[in-house]
Amino acid sequence: MTVLRGTRPNPSALAQWWVMTTRFIIPTFRNGELITATAASVGFTAGFYIPLHEFMKPAIGGMSSYGQFLMPLIALQAVYFAAMSTAFRSANDSVSGLTRRYGSMPIAPMTPVIARLSASLYRCLIGIGVALICGHVIGFRFYGGFLHMAGFVALLIVLGMLLALVGDVFGTASRNPEAAMQWMLLPQMILGMLSVGFQPAELFPKWIQSFVRNQPISQWVSVLRALAGDSTPAAGTVTWKLLAISVAWVVGPALVMGPLSASVQRRRS
């Protein structure tokens, strides 16, 4: 009688993470995804700056240009596109059964999630780069020195990761990759338009002003705007209170999404 005695493999979690991450990154060199991301950023910048910069100029509360005013929203939509892409990947993994397959292998449950988030970090960095170039063309400049500039980029990266986690959970829970990605357009559009990213809260009708002021996108826009600064004092100043609010809007959702991600991942594998 033959006894098949297997040894339990002991793979390196780091190597697994790296394989899974490059699996998402390498295809972007050939599948035109980088072109789509760039086109989206350029289209968004041109599509909102050109029609609105003269129409909005008198309304932006003394800031030097509409480019300076609009830039935080352009940067936020860039990281949001990266998150939509993450939703598409995680939905694909979930629908094709790959998530279930991973569950049957000696892989830590969150390794695939972390790999997708790492790939999203790569997309975020590209998106932020393209957005900064677009912003520079429409007259956006950093006025606050190196520390504020680094804070601007760091906050965008953190927000990009948070949104990617939201996208990952949503995609994993869904059953249709294309639909998951496209459904994410809706909150972006509504919350983006009803934020202080386009125009100051005072210009909204009275009944909706408190929502516009306090919703997360507006909070993030306010901090980003203050971090970027302006040639006039109208951009606001970076205060501990402003930072604390935006940090709360990152930590709070992350505390909800982290466990949710683990539970959705477990349910779909």
Partner 1 sequence: MTAVLDGAVPVVPPGSERGLRALAAQTRVETWRLLVRLCRNPVALLFLVLMPIGFMIALDIVLGDRISAVTGHSALYGTVPMNAVATAVNGSMVVAVGLASEQTSGLLSRLWVLPVHRASGLLARMVAEAVRIPVTTAVLLGVGAAMGFRFHQGWLGVVGWFLVPVIFGLPIAMLITTVALYWAKTPLVEAVVLVLVLAILFSTGFIPLSGYPRWVQPVVEHQPLTYTIEAMRGMSVGGPVLSPMIGVLLWSGGIAAAFLYPMVRGYRRASTR
* Least gap, CB of 38 to partner 1 (angstroms): 11
165 close to 258: Cβ distance less than 8 angstroms:
yes
81 close to 40: Cβ distance less than 8 angstroms:
yes
98 close to 167: Cβ distance less than 8 angstroms:
no
Per CB under 8 A, residues contacting partner 1 are: 32, 36, 39-40, 43, 46-48, 50-55, 59, 176, 178-179, 182-183, 185-186, 189-190, 193-194, 198-199, 203-205, 208
Measured CA to CA in angstroms, residue 231 lies from 69, 131, 139 at distances of: 12, 21, 12
* Least gap, CB of 148 to partner 1 (angstroms): 29
Residue 124: closest CA among 80, 88, 74: 80
* Least gap, CB of 176 to partner 1 (angstroms): 6
Q: In this structure, what token pair is assigned to residue 135?
A: 């912003």
* Least gap, CB of 247 to partner 1 (angstroms): 28
What is the identity of the amino acid at 165? L
* Least gap, CB of 260 to partner 1 (angstroms): 22
Q: Would you say 173 or 238 has its CB closer to partner 1?
A: 173
Residue with tokens 């972007």: 28
- CA 19 to centroid of chain Cα atoms: 23
Q: Would you say 102 or 204 has its CB closer to partner 1?
A: 204
Q: Would you say 46 or 256 has its CB closer to partner 1?
A: 46
Q: Would you say 162 or 173 has its CB closer to partner 1?
A: 173
Residue 76: closest CA among 122, 49, 45: 45
* Least gap, CB of 134 to partner 1 (angstroms): 14
Residues 6+ apart with CB under 8 A from 255: none
Q: Would you say 20 or 76 has its CB closer to partner 1?
A: 76
Q: Would you say 49 or 142 has its CB closer to partner 1?
A: 49
